Amino acid sequence: MLAGKRILLIIGGGIAAYKTLSLIRLLKGAGVAVTPVLTRAGAEFVTPLSVAALAGEKVHTDLFDLTDEAEMGHIQLSRVADLVVVAPATADLLAKMAGGRADDLASTLLLATDTPVLVAPAMNVRMWEHPATQRNLAQVLADGVQVIGPDAGEMACGEFGPGRMAEPEAIFAAVVAALSDGPLKGRHVLVTSGPTHEPIDPVRYIANRSSGAQGTAIAAALRDLGADVTFVTGPASVPPPAGVRVVRVETARDMLAAVEAALPADAAVMAAAVADWRVANAGVQKMKKDSSGKAPALEFAENPDILATLSKGANRPALVVGFAAETENVVNHATAKRLRKGCDWIVANDVSPETGIMGGAENAIVLISPEGAEHWPRMGKDMVAKKLADRISEAIKNR
Ligand code: CTP
């Protein structure tokens, strides 16, 4: 979906410029061509050579480079891309954008471009909070520029607060959303994935078996159709897909809070293997072996049902899809589960050990909807994800 797209990437002068190198790798990995522009200050933090090597293209640096102008004028350069990304966007670059200044190549391109612009600000917290920067920010937002970040946290200068550039994965996700032209463009879809971990004490936990592979594949397939995906994941063994907003959680209660915080959404796919119970008497300190040889007794409390809470809540997405992991009577159990939990569809699968589905690459599912049960042939989890994403896209088209 991203292959064939081109980004004009302006790298400003901030310590966060080193993170922009990872962004280039993510973009290139997704088949996006990158035309890099390095400001004079940017070149103090990363070298033109490393940028050129990663982008696989010439780095543009100077407005008055005669060779550059002969090959491709700066006006033409400002139009080559589908999206202009400024990362890091320094206070100075934001000020130039807000004021319409054009005194170097980067600011001239930003003034001359007719393509959408996404900026990732990065600066010291005091500079970020200064009324002048906030005025400039309000101006660029009013001009239609998209802004991602900054994040809060410890800064390279030792101070703490908002000002850190958004992580490359988050900028990449924003780029994907901005470039996407699939049928789910502009739609927000929430996906839960992976197991939850319920602590017994600070070093031990109970969990469901789940690699997170199916949920990850679904999030990627929805992203490929252009959806803006929030991916709420427990500690899974497969990494989350690039180009989605990742929210990492540990317990079922954390997952419910993250799901509620991500609303509203047009659709939700709850693929997580949530632990039904947590340990009610979890130890604050590590439980020690008792000299009497007596094993500790764990007491359990029921976890909230995230799918049921979402399906019956006031902020319910138009389409809610649950999963059912069963080991027998798949269709009957899953049909009852759909009604009990109040979701629209249930993706049911037989997870008996002999099927090899849990942790495996394939899945054989039955889609339970108000229309009945639809048996899908056994196929790769990626194919299941694509088919499901297409069905979701079709179902919410007119909602
Ligand atoms: N689920 C949830 N919150 C829970 C338990 C499950 O949101 N506390 C969701 C899962 O993400 C999945 C669906 O409910 O989408 C069904 O999960 P499953 O484990 O099959 O069902 P259970 O509710 O655990 O029912 P049972 O144990 O009776 O099979």
Verify whether ligand 1 is closer than 6 Å to residue 306 (CB atom). yes
Please name the residues in contact with 76: beta carbons below 8 A apart, sequence gap of 6 or more.
Answer: none
Give the atom of ligand 1 at the shortest distance from the alpha carbon of 310.
7
Closest by Cα among 122, 121, 120, 109 to 79: 109
Instruction: Find the mean pLDDT for residues 137-159.
Output: 87
Predicted local distance difference test score (pLDDT) of residue 359: 73
Which residues participate in catalysis according to the annotation?
A: 157
Residue 106: CB within 6 Å of ligand 1? Answer: no
Per-residue model confidence (pLDDT) at position 59: 95
Q: Could you say which of 3.40.50.10300, 3.40.50.1970, 3.40.50.2000, 2.60.120.650 is the CATH number of the domain covering 188-397?
A: 3.40.50.10300
Tokens describing residue 218: 């679904």
**Ligand 1 near 305 CB (within 6 A):** yes
Residues written for the chain: 399
Instruction: In whole angstroms, give the CA distance from residue 206 to residue 320.
Output: 27
Query: Would you call 373 exposed, middle or buried from its count of C-beta atoms within 10 A (0-12, 13-18, 19+)?
Result: middle
Distance of CA 142 to the CA centre of its chain: 25
Q: Rounded to an integer, what distance in angstroms lies between the CA atom of residue 336 and that of residue 255?
A: 24
pLDDT tens profile 22-51: 999 999 998 999 999 999 999 999 999 999
78 Cα: distance to centroid of ligand 1 (angstroms) = 51
Domain extent listing, the chain: 6-178, 188-397
With the most atoms of ligand 1 within 8 angstroms of its CB, the residue from 233, 302, 307, 365 to mutate is 307
The residue whose C-alpha atom lies closest to atom 17 belonging to ligand 1 is 324
Do 6-178 and 188-397 show the same overall fold?
yes
Q: What's the confidence (pLDDT) of residue 26?
A: 95
Q: Tell me: domain 6-178, CATH 2.40.340.10, correct? A: no
CB of residue 128 inside a 6 A radius of ligand 1: no
Q: How many whole angstroms separate alpha carbon 9 and alpha carbon 81?
A: 9
Among 59-68, 116-125, 246-255, the range scoring the smallest mean pLDDT is: 59-68
**Torsion over CA of 287, 293, 295 and 296, rounded to 10 degrees?**
-40
Mean pLDDT (whole number) for 319-338: 95
Strands (E), 75-196: 83-89, 117-121, 146-147, 151-154, 160-164, 188-193
Q: What spacing in Å lies between the alpha carbon of 273 and ligand 1's midpoint?
A: 7
84-136: pLDDT as tens digits: 999 999 999 999 999 999 999 999 999 999 899 999 999 999 999 999 999 99
Look up tokens 């703490």; give the residue. Answer: 160
Average pLDDT for the chain: 93
pTM over 0.85: no
pLDDT score of 1 more than 70? no
Residue whose C-alpha is closest to residue 310's, from 372, 373, 248, 261: 261
